[in-house]
Structure 1
Amino acid sequence: MRGTTRKVAVAGISAAALVLAGCGGGGNDGENTDAAAKTGGDITVRGCNPENPLVAGNTSETCGGNVLDVITAKLVKYNVDTAQPEMDIAEKIETTDNQNFTVTLKKGYKFHDGTEVKAKNFVDAWNYTAYGPNAQVSSYFFEPIEGYADLQSEDPDGEEGPQKAPEPKAKEMTGLKVVDDYSFTIKTAEKVANLPIRLGYTAFAPQPDAFFADPKTFGDKPIAAGPYKVDNWTKNAEIKLSKFADYSGEKKGVADTITFKIYQDANAAYADVLAGQLDLTDEIPASAQVDEKYKQDLPDRNIQKPVGVIQTITTAPTKVDPNYGPEIRKAISMAIDRQGIIDAVFNGTREPATGWVSPVVDGYKKDVCGEFCTFDAAKAKEQLAKAGGFKGGKITLSYNADASHKEWTEATCNSIKNALGVECVATPVVDFSTFRTQIRDRKMKGMFRTGWQMDYPSIENFLTPIYATGASSNDGDYANPAFDAKLKEAAAATDTAESNKLYQEAEQMLANDMASIPLWYSTTTAGWSERVTNVKITPFGVPDYASISLK
């Protein structure tokens, strides 16, 4: 994920579009460096259960995404300090009109099985992910490419009915063409000014020929082109990676092996770090954040850094639970004492959210949510009465129990109950995989915690993948044609300032509809054992695993 800085060669895109504004990076709050650190050895880090097999186009959550970030290489990578896009497998990405792009690859870049990464490995992988019948969760990321719609088909009687969706019109997008082994072209249906920035996201990784031979079992031991490869995945226990000797990138991994030890509880992972049984946890439990206890437990072995992550509450789609309409959501949002919860549970290490976009990205605008994200018990109760009252009995707020969410969800429910006079219950689900499966299958009722870790550094990434109609991470099935149209208008703008302004207008529509309930902008707090050093947190809120080394 590191290398010599290279500007993305894209005509018509200003330098400002490629650099994060106000992004924290480096310094004592972002890294711990030791020039005398060792190369090699084995390290262990906290992991959690991936929702799906480790397929780049079918992973949209952090448990699997953290692993894929270490084992994959893409056309573009993001600088670990600034999130600035830099070339990786791509030698250059060129365009004159922000609609027709030519990608030229570096020669000699290898997959873990020794085969060379070629243009067809990108084109074939992207077509596979976009093809509707393959049911890949990241299919939506390819929607801008010409011909994407022809790879989709609609089930005439829905998923529950006996009829099956017809075969799509095509299996390949017309907007992708292999020119030769080391170049291909991309044509988008409309102008997409930030397309090169997006291409560092995991969904755009290439796949080796071996993937297409058996895609169903491939994800248990994937083959990619990054600095580490998967050696073994013991379900519910650990995922073991080893350094790829023939890695073609400029910055190779340091440790010989990285083992993601899967934990069901953040407290257990933290205890193991204290005991020297785990080298790194990227989640400090709430109990250790009170009075900054973790700083006493782990002196000079902790990091806290603002990152491109936002925590929200989403309500079940209306067809699943009709009791949480937009006006009810506004009342609930006004009943949440964000600052009080941040102070009591997170020891002041979060910032109350005033909108749906993280402050670390260019285009962020403050106070988009207005009064609906401002705690006011009296106004919240008035809003609830105006909405006709809550008719669902008790409010529920579900969370995955294998991470540190119990304290804040309970505090949030207490705030809601005290302000609205309606019972609110924080409801645990055994682990993240089960939790996400229930949400994806539309079996989760009531409210549930949601969060977004940016895929690429753009205001657009906090809007399109989460709230566009039919988007892959649109857990609440939010749909607003005017919002969708504004997103397209913003994507087509060639001027960065104008594009950001249009995206801000789209974000304002989320406030009018209260598409979800913003809670707070996150920091990542991590701690490590006495064995390791060179720990750094990226602007995405993820440890730079490849740089961690033994003392």
Structure 2
Amino acid sequence: MATSLGLTACSSGDSADSSIVTTNAGEPQNPLVPTNTNENMGGRVVDRLWSGLKYYDASGAAHNEVAQSIESTDRKNYKITLKDWKFSDGTPVTAKSFVDAWNFGALSTNAQLQSYVFNPIKGFKDVSAEKPTAQTMSGLKVIDDRTFTVELESPSIDFETGLGFAPFYPLPEVAYKDIKAYGENPVGNGPYKFASNGAWQHNVQIDLVPNPEYKGGRPAKNKGLRFVMYQTFETAYQDLLAGNLDSLDVIPDGALASYKKELGDRAITKPIAYKAAIGIQTNTPHFGGEEGVLRRKAISMAINREQISENIFRGTRVPAKDFTAATLPGFDGNLPGSEVLKYNPEEAKKVWAQANAISPWSGTYEIAYNSDGGHQGWIEATANSIKNTLGIEAVGTPYPTFKNIRDLINGKTINKAFRYGWQGDYPTMLQFLTAQYYSFSETNNVNYNSPEFDKLLNDALAASTQDESYKIIAKAQALLFKDMADIPMFDYAAAAGRSDKVKKAEMAWNGLFDFEGIEK
């Protein structure tokens, strides 16, 4: 999930009911529709409002949730049987609730950001084309109210694991009457629901209360959640220290040297499935074709990640070694081509000169970042490293909010480099790679387009064993290094905290709190 590490409004001016858990957040980019929410701030709310066929616990293990059973003998054909379940408005969750939602998400004319996840399902190509030849995927069949079947184009080692991911959530009939209005006041089937019609105060807060219809394995252990939107992490941290905020998932850079002492046993540190990168789209001048490959490699080798990690992040960031995250099963830190992630000034200058031989460099290398995300320090340090190594003008370029920068990236109009992150949606390397680098993925931020890479991912999905899949993934990542799809920067270790009013707040595998389990 694209990540903001951003907070967009103001400190919590009015105090929540003392039994409600207050937690940091930011303004979601879009209305809260699961298939169109691909960023952190909307995602943390969506995952509280909905239940999927599966859910992921704090360690990342998948468990059946709405699914009574998911049966397959070949990992290509699935029979899914549902539990008796209801949406928060009391209407039943049926097989049709899932099938209709998946078809809606896949249909190209609905322009959903998460449509790529349906690629394995038979008939996806017919509904996802620019001019679709069908309105529904042929691989989905409703058998009865509690049963549906799924046929994939080929066997998938990742499909069942991914069924707890947000785009696979069900939708009630009411959603399709006006999907945008529905997203402003959604009806879901998860452990929480909107507190009232005015629950979403834009740029201020979102209030959720426990959903009495929820009967699953992650019931709320609190009386509700208030997602409070801040302008800065510094303000959020001061509220945490003062007891005005119950949980904060990102300690600001300026407090990393002191937060453990200030919070004591309320400080939280944990390696997580979270990566930071610098992307630049191929329609940006000097960054298309072979010239672009050379420039991305040169810039990567011009960045002293170790120094930035230590000086800015106090070791809570670790220099990246691949395009996924070091905590994921199958991770390999010694991939062919990964030497471009090491600081190598002389080689960086040499490769930059090779790019200049194709087309002489002109202008300034800009790295866009959202001001509300606490990124200024590391972006400026990165720009200085590039400037000092390559002898070019390099600067950080701030944008006011995460939404501002995401709209430009999604619109392919940002025309400069940009920082972005990816927070795992489910704990596999394929989730990171399919989302970010499949040529047809709406969440491919950098316009990477390689039929060879797409085929390798498809082969990895079709592998008969995890070990075989990991070997193919390694080949796919070696190709990403050859093409230098983007510039991996850091893996994250969470630096977070809870207030003295909270007795339990566990950090999950992906760097978000286990919100249901937070106890006052």
Alpha-carbon distance between aligned partners in 1 of 2:249 and 2:466, rounded to the nearest angstrom? 34
Residue of structure 2 equivalent to 1:16: none
Match of 2:356 among 356, 371, 388: 388
* Structure 1 spans left out of the alignment, 5+ residues: 1-38, 155-165
Corresponding residue for 1:312? Answer: 277
What's 2:5 paired with? none
| Residue in 1 that maps onto 2:121 | 145
1:118–1:77 distance in 2 versus 1, CA, 3 Å:
same
Residues 1:260 and 2:224 aligned together = no
State the SS of the aligned residue for 2:356: coil
Query: Among 266, 278, 281, which residue is 1:301 paired with?
Result: 266
- Whether 2:319 is the aligned partner of 1:341: answer no
Amino acid at match of 2:56: Y
Distance in 1 separating the partners of 2:327 and 2:287: 34
| 1:394–1:320 distance in 2 versus 1, CA, 3 Å | closer
Partner of 2:14: none
Q: Deviations over 1:309-342 (max 9, x none)?
A: 11111012x2243446010000000000001000
> Which of 293, 310, 315 lines up with 1:326 in the alignment?
293
Q: Say if 1:283 and 1:404, in contact at 8 Å, map to a contact too.
A: no
Matched-pair identity in %: 38
SS, match of residue 404 in structure 2: helix
TM-score, length-scaled by structure 1: 0.88
Q: 1: CA distance between counterparts of 2:203 and 2:32?
A: 14
Deviation at 1:140, TM superposition (A): 0.9
**Residues 59, 137 of structure 1: 8 Å contact kept:** yes
The secondary structure found in structure 1 opposite 2:494 is strand
Q: CA deviation at 1:223?
A: 0.9
Q: Work out which of the residue numbers 337, 347, 355 in structure 1 matches 2:322.
A: 355
Deviation at 1:40, TM superposition (A): 8.7
Residue matched to 2:143:
179
Alpha-carbon separation, structure 2, partners of 1:251 and 1:515: 38
Residue 195 (structure 1) aligned with residue 172 (structure 2): no
Match of residue 134 from structure 1: 110
Is residue 2:52 matched to residue 1:74?
Answer: yes
In 2, Cα distance between equivalents of 1:249 and 1:50? 26
Question: Residues 92-139 of structure 1: CA distance to partner in whole angstroms, max 9, x if unpaired?
Answer: 1111111111111112x1111111211100000000010111111011
Structure 2 residue 66 is matched with structure 1 residue 89: yes
Gaps of 5+ in 2: 1-16
Q: Aligned pair 1:494/2:469, yes or no?
A: no
Whether 2:213 is the aligned partner of 1:246: answer yes
Q: How does 1:378-457 map to 2 (within 5 A)?
A: 378-388=346-356, 391-457=361-427
Residues 323 and 504 of structure 1, relative CA distance in 2, 3 Å threshold: closer
The CA deviation string for residues 173-206 of structure 1, in whole angstroms up to 9 with x for no partner, is 0000001111100001122122100111011001
RMSD (Å) for aligned C-alpha atoms: 1.4
Q: Deviations over 1:241-262 (max 9, x none)?
A: 0111221113310221210011
Residue range with higher mean Cα deviation, 220-229 or 526-535: 526-535
Quick check: 2:283–2:415 contact (8 Å CA) kept in 1? no
1:438 deviation in Å? 0.9
What is the distance in 2 between the residues matched to 1:538 and 1:267? 23
Q: Distance in 1 between matches of 2:174 and 2:425?
A: 26
Partner letter of residue 115 of structure 2? S
**Is the CA contact 2:280–2:287 (under 8 Å) kept in the aligned structure 1?**
no
Q: Which residue of structure 2 lines up, in the alignment, with residue 514 of structure 1?
A: 484
> Is contact 2:316–2:494 with CA below 8 Å preserved after alignment?
no
State how far apart, in whole Å, the 2-side matches of 1:123 and 1:213 are.
17
2:200: which partner in 1? 233
1:344-376 Cα shifts (integer Å, max 9, x gaps): 000011211111121211221113243211101
Q: Which residue of 1 aligns with 2:88?
A: 112
State the TM-score, normalized to the length of structure 2.
Answer: 0.93
- Asked if 1 retains the 8 angstrom alpha-carbon contact of 2:272 and 2:494, the reply is yes
> Aligned-pair distance for 1:224?
0.8
Contact preservation (8 Å) 1:363, 1:504: no
1:459 corresponding residue in structure 2: 429
Q: Among 75, 85, 88, which residue is 1:98 paired with? A: 75
How big is the shift at 1:216?
2.0
Q: Distance in 2 between matches of 1:46 and 1:216?
A: 25
State whether residues 470 and 477 of structure 1, in contact with CA within 8 Å, keep that contact through their aligned partners in structure 2. no
1:371 aligns with 2:336: no
Aligned-partner SS, 1:417 = helix
Q: From the superposition, tell whether residues 255 and 40 of structure 1 become closer, same or farther in structure 2 (CA, over 3 Å).
A: farther
SS of match in other structure, 1:310: strand
- 1:524 aligned onto 2:494: yes
Match of 2:8 in 1: none
> Which amino acid is the alignment partner of residue 481 of structure 1?
P
Residues 323 and 500 of structure 1: is their aligned pair in 2 closer, same or farther, counting only changes over 3 Å?
Answer: closer
Report the AA paired with residue 378 of structure 1.
E
Per-residue deviation at 1:65? Answer: 0.3
CA contact (8 A) 2:286 2:361 kept: no
- The Cα offsets for residues 369-413 of structure 1, whole Å up to 9 and x where unpaired, read as 432111011211111112217624111011111111111101111
Contact 2:287 2:293 in 1 (8 A): no
Alignment of 1:29-48 (within 5 A): 41-48=19-26
In 1, the alpha carbon distance for the partners of 2:476 and 2:217 equals 39
AA partner of residue 477 (structure 2): E
Question: Partners of 1:311 and 1:320 in 2: how far apart?
Answer: 20
Instruction: Determine the C-alpha separation between the residues in 2 that align with 1:468 and 1:323.
Output: 19
Checking the alignment, whether the CA contact within 8 Å between 1:98 and 1:494 is kept in structure 2 is no
Hey, what's the Cα distance between the residues in 2 that align with 1:451 and 1:66? 15
Q: Distance in 1 between matches of 2:103 and 2:161?
A: 20
Give the equivalent residue in structure 2 for 1:470. Answer: 440
Rate the CA distance shift 1:40–1:117 in 2: closer, same or farther, 3 A. Answer: farther
Query: How far 1:41 sits from its partner (Å)?
Result: 1.4
How many corresponding residue pairs? 495
Match of 1:7 in 2: none
Equivalent position SS for 2:372: coil
Aligned to 1:51: 29
Contact 2:123 2:139 (C-alpha < 8 Å) held by counterparts: yes
> What secondary structure does 2:435 align onto?
helix
Q: 1:158 maps to which residue?
A: none
Q: Is the CA contact 1:323–1:392 (under 8 Å) kept in the aligned structure 2?
A: no
